[in-house]
Amino acid sequence: MKKQRLDRFISNQLNLPRSMSKTQIHRGKVKVGNTVVRDPSTIIDVDTQAVFYKDQKVEYNEFLYLLMNKPKGVLSASEDKTQKTVIDLIPDNLRRNGLFPVGRLDKDTTGLLIITDDGDFAHRCIHPSKNISKTYVAKLDDELKEEMIELFSKGVVLADETLCKPAILEIMDTKTAKITITEGKYHQIKRMFGTVGLGVAELERIGIGRLKLPDNLKYGETIVLSKDDLLKILE
């Protein structure tokens, strides 16, 4: 059984400020089962008791898992005083307290970004020991060479002598490559291509594990991930 204060439950599930959830409860807008409850400190069992707000059932989700197609010019952060973040782009019906991006995409990098409030899940996704693959498409400022495939497969040594884990490089055309890595060092892909004299003009993440960026998801749009989707990341 999962016990929780009623005001906290309403606040978390409906993305309301805690003070507003208390006010709504005091005003009789919340029912537990068929009973109006006016005490915000009432303890409920979220697994067995139905809660209604303005006669609409409040569905309980312990954690929320979102996939966003991150656009350029937006920070992969929970908040920033001067710049727009990915959290700012989440539609109101999917907002809730405590959401944060899993890992980071650079401000000018686009593509698949997971957003959640589940810290354990996030840790499992980004810790290098888990070896979860991240796949990107990179557009370069000069031509790729076949020998780069073997070089990347052995593990690139960066300019500061940091050794990267082996990566899979696929040449898509003369200046476009698909690259799959299992770690996430600072500016890693840009630095890896830098060791072979190539600059990255554009970078898009298209996959994490077996989870792929949906073709029909526009920049800035967000969808809810299913349990099957999560397995595609963690398996």
CATH number for the domain that contains residue 203: 3.30.70.1560
Residues of the chain with pLDDT under 70: 1
pLDDT of residue 1: 62
Same domain, 40 and 90: no
Same domain, 12 and 50: yes
Same domain, 137 and 204: yes
Residue 214 lies in a domain: no
**Contact (CB, 8 A) for 78 and 87:** yes
Which two structure tokens, joined as six digits, stand for 192? 């890896």
pLDDT of residue 235: 77
Same domain, 116 and 176: no
Same domain, 176 and 75: no
Same domain, 226 and 169: no
**Dihedral (C-alpha) 136, 139, 145, 149: value to the nearest 10 degrees?**
0
pLDDT of residue 122: 94
d(CA 154, CA 11): 50
Indicate if 39 belongs to the active site: no
**Contact (CB, 8 A) for 132 and 209:** yes
Same domain, 197 and 137: yes
d(CA 163, CA 157): 5
In degrees, rounded to 5, the angle at the alpha carbon of residue 123 between the alpha carbons of residues 120 and 125 is 110
pTM of structure: 0.84
d(CA 22, CA 25): 5
CATH number of the CATH domain containing 49: 3.10.290.10
Residue 8 lies in a domain: yes
Output DSSP code: residue 75: B
Residue 101 lies in a domain: yes
pLDDT digits (tens, 9 = 90+) for 102-145: 988 999 999 999 999 999 999 999 888 888 999 999 999 999 99
d(CA 221, CA 70): 8
Q: Which of 39, 45, 55, 106 is catalytic?
A: 106
pLDDT digits (tens, 9 = 90+) for 146-155: 999 999 999 9
- Domain around 188: 133-208
Quote the number of domains for the chain: 3
* Coil, helix or strand at residue 140: strand
Mean pLDDT score across all residues of the chain: 93
